[in-house]
Amino acid sequence: MDDFLTFKNISKFYPGVKALTDVSFNVAKGAVHGVMGENGAGKSTLIRVLSGDQQANSGAIIINGEVQKYATVRDAFDAGVIVIHQELQLVPELSVAENLLLGRYPAKAGLISFKALAKEVGEKLRMIGIDIDPATKVAHLSIGERQMVEIAKAVMLDARIIALDEPTSSLSSRESEILFRLIGRLKAEGKIILYISHRLDEIFQLCDSLTVLRDGKLAAHHASLENVSRDQIISEMVGREISNIWGWRSRNISDQVLLKVENLSGSKLSVPVNFEVRAGEITGFFGLIGAGRSEMSRLIHGADQRHTGTVSVEGIKVAANDPRSSIRAGIVLCPEDRKFDGIIQGRSIEENIAVSARRHFSPFGLIRPKREAELAETYIAKLRVRTPSRKQDIVNLSGGNQQKVILGRWLAEQNIKVLIIDEPTRGIDVGAKAEIYEILYQLAENGMAIVVISSELPEVMGISDRIMVMCEGQIAASFKRVNFNDRAILKAALPDKTVSEAAAGSLQKVS
């Protein structure tokens, strides 16, 4: 295969940060090329430069022998480049069809036929195996369904180069299978796929070649993965050995029940939910997309309207449908969607950490800059947030560091008894994952009750003391750690209670 895409000495600097330094590598036509690295390694910056969203300080992008001089996303699009970012670029209040044909609506005499629009998109979605009603508003779709719409957009626009940033982070196993088939078809058509992922299994399954970045520099380039091992890639990514990413260890779990959920139901919980979490315990919730896990967390925290049920902390009932009351009672939530529900965009790390704790030291609404600075510095150091300054805009941090800032915000409350964390390491590299897990273990050892919600079975098996499995809006099964079994857990999560050999075999069993 001939080289079709070349990154030549790409460098990109931000104030106080060298995001990329002299990065060079080639990608052949018709290849699926993996890009890996820890959060902050420069992967997202590299594809922003490719997409025209950012301009490199030096270097060049060469496509089919021609140096590209595009300065906008539109220029890159005209050159046949589409980037599907982890942070999705859809318009929530428009339909699926409107999003997919945005700017290219079929019209007669200047009038748009939305019926024709939906019909055209529906036919194309069916052709590529995506079962989503084109008339549905994007706001009503799950995160996984939105991801599939973004992927469909790239396929329908017939791009020459498609960059996918953590494409399966929000997808179910079925949706991932559809994506993998699409990638195979695009590869056969001679397209280039840049596949940015932290999932080594997917890299080995899909990719022909691989580039590894570390600290904004080229750490390794593999023209073939034939003789490359998982441990070798991890070592190249992090510059150190990580023998046990999960790091689970036995600890004393108290008999004291900190969180008690009784007969809890809501719009997405078909059967009332009941469970308890004790001091020092990490309880994992596993289920497929749409099982009701995230909806349950929002009901517990008071963000969504309960139909029935009570939530108690240390035996005291918490007011329903009121997140402030939940926080004051000691229940906090790190939500599934960090971008929209977790971080405060356009604000500094300092402001994001201090925003909730202000009530403790600013009773009359007066900002105390010195106190907020001290608070931010404390948790930046304690949680090892990688940033040049506490004044850095939080959107410029990697996903792992954003997650640490959200944790810092709640730890600054200093009265937290129950931490609910939804998809704790989605889009986070292997090194940062280990750091997040270590933080959770330390909190549990200090007597906090932890609820971890994850769609990654190896993760929930790797860090939990107990696993609750959700299926179709109810708790379908419960497993103690001594009884963890990937096949049994997955079977409990499936509506038809069957597990294909391929699905079971793709799971990493964790002891």
The string of DSSP codes covering 29-89 is TT-EEEEE--TTSSHHHHHHHHHTSS--SEEEEEETTEEE---SHHHHHHTTEEEE-SS--
Name, in order, each residue with C-beta under 8 angstroms of 319's C-beta and a sequence gap of 6 or more: 302, 325, 326
pLDDT tens for the chain, residues 1 to 511: 466 899 999 999 876 678 899 999 999 999 999 999 876 788 888 998 999 988 999 999 999 999 988 888 888 888 889 888 766 678 888 888 888 777 655 555 556 666 767 777 888 788 777 778 888 888 888 777 787 788 788 777 778 999 998 888 777 777 788 888 888 888 998 999 999 987 888 999 999 999 999 888 999 999 999 999 888 887 888 776 555 678 888 888 999 999 999 999 998 887 899 999 999 999 999 987 678 899 999 999 999 999 999 999 999 999 999 999 999 999 999 888 777 788 888 889 998 998 888 777 766 666 778 888 988 899 888 888 888 889 988 888 877 888 889 888 888 887 899 999 998 887 777 777 888 899 899 999 999 999 999 988 888 999 999 999 998 889 999 999 999 988 889 888 877 554 444 344 434 433 3
What is the radius of gyration, based on Cα positions, of the chain? Answer: 23
What secondary structure, in 3-state letters, does 143-170 show? HHHHHHHHHHHHHHCCCCEEEEECCCCC
Domains located in the chain, CATH noted:
3-238 (3.40.50.300), 242-330+416-505 (3.40.50.300), 340-414 (no CATH)
Distance from chain centroid for Cα 50 = 22
DSSP bridge partners of 112: 107
DSSP3 helix / strand / coil % (the chain, rounded to 5): 35, 25, 40
**H or E stretch covering 329:** helix 323-329
Alpha helices in 164-220 (DSSP H): 173-188, 200-206
Read off φ and ψ for residue 484, nearest 5 degrees: -60, 130
Edge-first strand order for the sheet with 58-63 is: 17-28, 3-14, 58-63, 66-68
- The single-letter code of the amino acid at 180 is F
| Residues with Cβ within 8 Å of residue 325, at least 6 apart in sequence | 302, 318, 319
Closest by CA position to 13, among listed 396, 398, 429: 396
Q: How far apart are the first and last CA of the chain?
A: 42
Q: Are 220 and 211 in contact (CB under 8 A)?
A: yes
Question: Any bridge partners for residue 23, and if so which?
Answer: 10
Strands (E), 352-503: 418-422, 449-454, 466-471, 474-480
**Entry pTM:** 0.62
Tokens for 155, please give them.
């396929």
Report in angstroms the alpha-carbon separations of 487 from 5, 168, 201, 205, 508: 42, 21, 18, 21, 10
* In contact, 8 and 53? CB cutoff 8 Å: no
Length of the chain: 511
